[in-house]
Chains A and B, each alone.
Chain A
Amino acid sequence: MTAGPLTTPVRPAAATRRTYRAGWGWWVAAAVVILPALVPPISLAWQVATRGIGPSIPFPRLLELFGGTLVLTLAVTVTALAIGTGTAWLTTRTNLPARRFWMIVAALPLVIPSYMAALSIIGATGRGGLAETLLGVRIPTPYGFVGAWLALSVFLAPMAHLIVGPGLRAIDPATEEAATGLGASGLRVFFTVTLPQLRPALVSAGLIVGLYTISDFGAVSLMRFDTFTRAIFTLYAGQIDRQPAAALSLLLMILALVILLLERRTRTRAGYQTSSTKRERRPIVMTARQQGGAHLFLGSYALLGLVMPVAVLTFWLTRGLGAGNEIGRLWDEIGRSVGVSVGAAVLAVIASFPVAMVTTWRRRRHLSAAVETTVWSIYSLPHITVGVAVIAFALQLARPLYQTLTLLLLVYVAMFMAQSASTIQDSLIRVSPDLEDASRGLGRNALQTLARVTAPLTRPGILAGAALVFLSVMKELPATLLLRPTGFETLAIRIWSSTAEGFYTRASAASLALLLVSIVPLLVTTHRDLSP
């Protein structure tokens, strides 16, 4: 099991280099496909530099936003790490029955976008919520910090689960066995031997969860908790002057890039010595009571992260339909969502090929590192900031592209190319360059070799990459909100606007449709991410 790009915005550090030559054509192609990735930061910096920051945001307000973002990020990171480490440890290190089942279940809440998580919390509580209807108690909707924290923690815990799991497996069992042999209790072994070795994985997981939290727009907006992203949208939507939104976007972009760089550093430094002979690990034997506790923990997590959202959505949908509410033209939205997702997936795979080719070549490491950093940088940028930046860019320099589907697809490809590039890299390093050399030797040109030899051999990576991009585009909200062509309402937009206006039947119908459409690509990726 590898922590694949479903979870990590950074390619696994163990990048093998292949020897097949990446000709200059590949470099040119790579340069062309990463060019759009440079647009958002440059556009924002240019805008702020030339036009100023507009009516400035009062310092206390800025401090408040910073504080809110920081506190939420810390709280979500700690909670998600605690849950994710727990689920990962129980499903990888113990003899818990059905641990394979739990391993998959604990990863699944990841498909639920943060705004859908928020919608399910709103739908479960408050007037007429699931709790009031079923139990007769009205739980006040936890708007603000609590709601945002809950929604993000539960739905980011799988990310920690998927990163910490492989980390746990990489630990040499010899050290733990030695500690146990010397008479240490199970808990003591965990805290004094396992945990310290797990530190690189935990730090990495923490930074990634943190990055997602500062970038999140949907949950904090629907839960009405003020962070940078929400403030950017409030400024963007609530003020005639767009400069303050641009300035705040630039600030948040820089913050995200700093976290990304930190994450990359921890990755390259990570690494513990393992004994050379890999031995089969003996699972930790749990007593019946402990197993009961473990099942309770995993069960409550699944209940909260998976069963509850689906139950709440189904409840609102059936009740709304029963009351004669109309769902509206959901087929149009499904068609648009699937259309752009398939389109972006196809284009991203094509664009990823040159990137994967040059970054897996063993020569010119500096240049290929630059290509890779660019691709990952835009992947890590908060989408709301990308939206603000691209709108200004399109209006000033690319007017024919403004509010077109072409621009939206370009932005999707730029934002999510990292995912497909990484899966294709993974496949590419397993392709023997001899086969390509043989093809060239037999008189095929570079393109023919790509089409007949390289591409077919990297098919698993292509499929996984396409599935990942499909899922990401399907869920994407803030950039779509800002950049969509007029009238181009997707499922994500429908969920967002209907929830914001309090029409939960429609929001629920669109949410369930989104989940259903995501199932097939999800199976492709979980198969890859969770295969042992």
Chain B
Amino acid sequence: MKRLIAALLAGMMIISACADTDDAEGPLVIYSGRGEELVQPLIDEFEIETGIDVDVRYGESTEMAATLIQEGDGTEADVFYAQDPASLGAVADMMTQLDSSVLDLVDARFADRDGRWVGTSGRIRTFIYHTDTPNELPQTIDDVIDPAWAGQLGVAPTNGSFLAFVSAMILERGEAGTLEWLQALAANDPQDFSGNSPIVDAADSGEIQAGLVNHYYLLRLRAEGEGENAENWFIPAGDVGSLVMPAGVGVLSGTDKPDAAQRFVEFLLSVSSQEYFANETFEFPLIDGVPAAEGLPALDEIAAPDIDLSQLADVLDDATRLVSEAGLI
């Protein structure tokens, strides 16, 4: 019995040792909608460079946004780092205006209208195609639903980036026009995939002729020595076909560590972090003077649509509804 009690006590001590993570000051709490494998090396670097302790809660971007909204003012989060402008926009009301010293680093197109979040790296929607395709490449997003691609186009209708693209289309042409486009897409018998990577794989192998994805998946495939039979095509019409979706960061108004939070935002926009994005994740750097990865055009050569990214959040749930109304999911 004594041994049992000793075991119990030891167990309790282990728990309390685990629970004892709160020191007097408390760490900077970041809610990250970006994956741990990508973000944690940056966090480690930040901790070493600044001596600031950081705790990160990882999840999907929308999940973290919904969590922040549910938690409201009582949230322990100081910083929200998200994959897409829609998630950032959804909690923009809870975020404080950023210092102009960081806002000035990035083109105003890739930041919140009111300066409550700022883009940190660019991800672009692209039309990936099998290099031997006999079809003509689309000049506008409406060419994508041309019968020539019937049964040949890969889409990932449940994927967050696809939904962001649909949200942007709602801003561009309204709900009715978007539903029409989605219905035409559905009528064209697209191939359903669960995510971007398998679409890129299938376009590379020739299983499908083309697909709608983000630009960096092909570069990741090539980094592994494949992907020679597929190519990214940036639709040149200046429509949502080449939508730029910046990942971005904002500081929560309720933070008790505004200085540490500000330093983290600065850190993401530093040359070393921007180079990390360019070369490790093949995203577009958003500050001047850091080039994109080899094989990518410069960001300003891409015909991005002229839409207000701050409004994406307002139509995100509508996008989900339209996609299912059109029968894609």
Chain A contact residues, CB within 8 Å of chain B: 55, 58, 60-61, 127-128, 143, 224, 234, 236-242, 328, 335-336, 338-340, 342-343, 345-346, 391-392, 395, 399, 402-403, 405-406, 409, 451-452, 455-456, 459, 462, 485-489, 497-498, 500-503, 506
Contact between A239 and B66, CB atoms less than 8 A apart: yes
A contact patch SS: helix
**How many interface contacts (CB-CB < 8 Å) are there between A and B?**
120
A-B contacts, 18 listed (Cβ < 8 Å): A127-B224, A143-B194, A224-B194, A237-B59, A239-B62, A240-B62, A335-B18, A338-B14, A343-B12, A343-B14, A345-B11, A346-B8, A405-B18, A452-B1, A486-B29, A486-B31, A486-B55, A486-B76
Contact between A61 and B15, CB atoms less than 8 A apart: no
The answer for the CA separation of A297 and B71 in the assembled complex, in Å, is: 53
Contact between A239 and B317, CB atoms less than 8 A apart: yes
Chain B contact residues, CB within 8 Å of chain A: 1, 4, 8, 10-12, 14-15, 17-19, 21, 27, 29, 31, 35-38, 40, 55-60, 62-63, 65-66, 69-71, 74, 76, 90, 158, 160, 163, 194-195, 197-198, 201, 224, 226, 313, 316-317, 320-321, 324-325, 327, 329
Task: Give which listed residue, A241, A395, A498, contacts B71 with CB less than 8 A.
Answer: A395
The answer for the CA separation of A497 and B32 in the assembled complex, in Å, is: 13
Task: Give which listed residue, B15, B59, B74, B158, contacts A340 with CB less than 8 A.
Answer: B15
Given contacts A240-B66, A456-B1, A486-B76, contact A339 B18 (CB under 8 A): yes
Specify which chain A residues have a CB less than 8 angstroms from the CB of B37 in the assembled complex: 497-498, 501, 503, 506
Specify which chain B residues have a CB less than 8 angstroms from the CB of A143 in the assembled complex: 194, 198
- The 10 A-B pairs at the shortest CB distance, nearest first, are namely A343-B15, A237-B63, A487-B55, A339-B18, A237-B60, A342-B11, A486-B57, A224-B194, A339-B14, A346-B11
Q: Of residues A240, A328, A338, A486, which shows the largest number of chain B Cβ atoms within 10 Å of its Cβ?
A: A240
**Min CB–CB distance B68 → chain A (angstroms):** 10
Given contacts A342-B14, A486-B76, contact A239 B320 (CB under 8 A): yes
Contact between A497 and B90, CB atoms less than 8 A apart: no
The answer for the CA separation of A391 and B12 in the assembled complex, in Å, is: 25
Contact between A497 and B60, CB atoms less than 8 A apart: no
Contact between B1 and A455, CB atoms less than 8 A apart: yes
Task: Give which listed residue, B36, B59, B65, B197, contacts A240 with CB less than 8 A.
Answer: B65
* Least CB separation from B35: chain A residue: A501
Contact between A403 and B8, CB atoms less than 8 A apart: no
* Least CB separation from A497: chain B residue: B36
**Min CB–CB distance B269 → chain A (angstroms):** 24
The answer for the CA separation of A501 and B38 in the assembled complex, in Å, is: 9
Contact between B62 and A487, CB atoms less than 8 A apart: no
B contact patch SS: helix
* Least CB separation from B31: chain A residue: A486
Given contacts A236-B63, A239-B320, A343-B11, contact A497 B35 (CB under 8 A): yes
Q: Of residues B36, B55, B60, B90, which shows the largest number of chain A Cβ atoms within 10 Å of its Cβ?
A: B36
Seed contacts A342-B15, A456-B1; 18 additional CB < 8 Å A-B pairs: A60-B327, A127-B224, A224-B194, A238-B60, A238-B62, A240-B66, A240-B313, A335-B14, A405-B19, A485-B21, A486-B29, A486-B31, A487-B21, A487-B55, A487-B56, A489-B36, A500-B35, A502-B197
Specify which chain A residues have a CB less than 8 angstroms from the CB of B66 in the assembled complex: 236, 239-242
The answer for the CA separation of A403 and B19 in the assembled complex, in Å, is: 12
Specify which chain B residues have a CB less than 8 angstroms from the CB of A405 in the assembled complex: 15, 18-19
Task: Give which listed residue, A58, A342, A497, contacts B325 with CB less than 8 A.
Answer: A58
Contact between A403 and B317, CB atoms less than 8 A apart: no
The answer for the CA separation of A456 and B324 in the assembled complex, in Å, is: 60
Specify which chain B residues have a CB less than 8 angstroms from the CB of A497 in the assembled complex: 35-37, 58
Specify which chain A residues have a CB less than 8 angstroms from the CB of B316 in the assembled complex: 239-240
The answer for the CA separation of A236 and B201 in the assembled complex, in Å, is: 28
Task: Give which listed residue, A127, A238, A502, A503, contacts B320 with CB less than 8 A.
Answer: A238
Contact between B76 and A403, CB atoms less than 8 A apart: yes
Specify which chain A residues have a CB less than 8 angstroms from the CB of B57 in the assembled complex: 486-487
Given contacts A339-B15, A405-B18, A405-B19, contact A240 B69 (CB under 8 A): yes
Specify which chain A residues have a CB less than 8 angstroms from the CB of B90 in the assembled complex: 240
**Min CB–CB distance B38 → chain A (angstroms):** 8
Q: Of residues A405, A406, A452, A506, which shows the largest number of chain B Cβ atoms within 10 Å of its Cβ?
A: A405
The answer for the CA separation of A345 and B160 in the assembled complex, in Å, is: 39
The answer for the CA separation of A451 and B321 in the assembled complex, in Å, is: 60
The answer for the CA separation of A128 and B1 in the assembled complex, in Å, is: 53
**Min CB–CB distance B229 → chain A (angstroms):** 14
Contact between A399 and B317, CB atoms less than 8 A apart: no
The answer for the CA separation of A497 and B194 in the assembled complex, in Å, is: 17
**Min CB–CB distance B58 → chain A (angstroms):** 7
Specify which chain B residues have a CB less than 8 angstroms from the CB of A455 in the assembled complex: 1, 4
Contact between B194 and A241, CB atoms less than 8 A apart: no
Contact between A340 and B18, CB atoms less than 8 A apart: yes
The answer for the CA separation of A328 and B15 in the assembled complex, in Å, is: 22
The answer for the CA separation of A437 and B58 in the assembled complex, in Å, is: 55
**Min CB–CB distance A70 → chain B (angstroms):** 19
The answer for the CA separation of A236 and B18 in the assembled complex, in Å, is: 28
Specify which chain A residues have a CB less than 8 angstroms from the CB of B65 in the assembled complex: 240
Specify which chain A residues have a CB less than 8 angstroms from the CB of B320 in the assembled complex: 55, 238-239
**Min CB–CB distance B67 → chain A (angstroms):** 8
Specify which chain B residues have a CB less than 8 angstroms from the CB of A501 in the assembled complex: 35-38
The answer for the CA separation of A406 and B12 in the assembled complex, in Å, is: 12
Specify which chain A residues have a CB less than 8 angstroms from the CB of B12 in the assembled complex: 343, 346
The answer for the CA separation of A459 and B76 in the assembled complex, in Å, is: 43
Contact between B14 and A237, CB atoms less than 8 A apart: no
